[in-house]
Amino acid sequence: MEARLTELEIKMNLTEDLVEELNRTIYRQQQQIDLLQEQMRLLHRHLQNLSSNADPGEALSLRDEIPPHY
């Protein structure tokens, strides 16, 4: 009986460690997702500004964004 109780305690401790590690992983991933979403919002705003500043008959091209040294 004592051995079974010890084994259960060991498994519980390992499970707690695993849950803590998974929580840290989820937290880091959420930070990355938040950063990527903010970058997408900024990119979307930038593209909207480009298209609103372009002439109506002019097609928006990504080549317009290439620096002059290329």
Give residue-wise pLDDT tens across range 1-44. Answer: 999 999 999 999 999 999 999 999 999 999 999 999 999 999 99
Mean pLDDT score, 55-66:
63
**Assigned token pair, 10:** 């060991």
Contact 54, 60 (CB under 8 A): yes
Q: How confident is the model at residue 57 (pLDDT cuts 50, 70, 90)?
A: low
Angstrom CA distances, 6 to 11, 12, 15, 18, 63, stand at 9, 10, 14, 18, 67
Return all residues near 50 (Cβ < 8 A) that are at least 6 apart: 60, 64
Give me the pLDDT at residue 35, please. 98
